[in-house]
Amino acid sequence: MNRKPLLVVVGLILVFVVAILHFVVGWHHIPHHFQSLTSSLFHTESGEAAIVEEPIGGYGPDTLSATMAIREPFDTLYWGEQIRKGEFIPDGVKEAYTHVKGMDFDALHKTDNKPTDLEAQQAIVHQYKQDMVALLRNNDAHIRIGTAFEAKLQPVDDNNPEIARITAMVCAFDSKGNNLGNIQEPLYIVYDFVRFQSDPDTWYITDFSQTIPYDYNLFK
């Protein structure tokens, strides 16, 4: 029997498969895809599935701590009352409530080295420009800053190091003293305020770098 045609066909198939692996999958992806395939078909030696599904309805303790390591201030009084009343609770709120209630804020250090209300507002306006100017003007609003906590200075890439950094909540109030909260974006409820060596008298805002307790006094 003449096997030449068969060998030619097999050879062409092999060339086609190799081309697919090289140009479509990529050589460096092959081990990963092979491992995923075998893991989904077989079990590990311990008898447990190699790919474990995420628990339904929540996070494990380690995952929860990692995802909530740094989070915005959380109103435990309000949400605690809602939970006790059996009211509708959005996804993740119960987990966040438990996490924050278990946090130890004693390691935080309050500081008076913080912006005034006007300086805080100027820093926020400087960041958001006309969007914030319009937001405050349209709501007849001004900014107040709450209790400040010392924050760790962050490294910089240039020769303009930070000389002060604090974390604090902010809130908007109208001219009658009514609490407007954060009104709407882009205004947020918490920031880090930073001063730099090159401009030591001016505060700037950046993303908050630590979790601080909810500032109930600010909203009174």
The ranges assigned to domains in the chain are 4-41, 61-101, 110-219
pTM of the shown model: 0.69
| pLDDT tens digits, 181-195 | 989 999 999 999 999
| pLDDT tens digits, 36-92 | 333 333 333 333 333 233 332 233 333 334 345 789 999 999 999 999 999 999 999
Q: Which of 201, 200, 132, 202 has the alpha carbon at shortest distance from 170?
A: 132
Indicate the pLDDT class of residue 211, thresholds 50, 70 and 90: very high
The span from the CA of 59 to the CA of 63, in Å, is 6
**Residue, of 163 and 21, whose pLDDT is higher:** 163
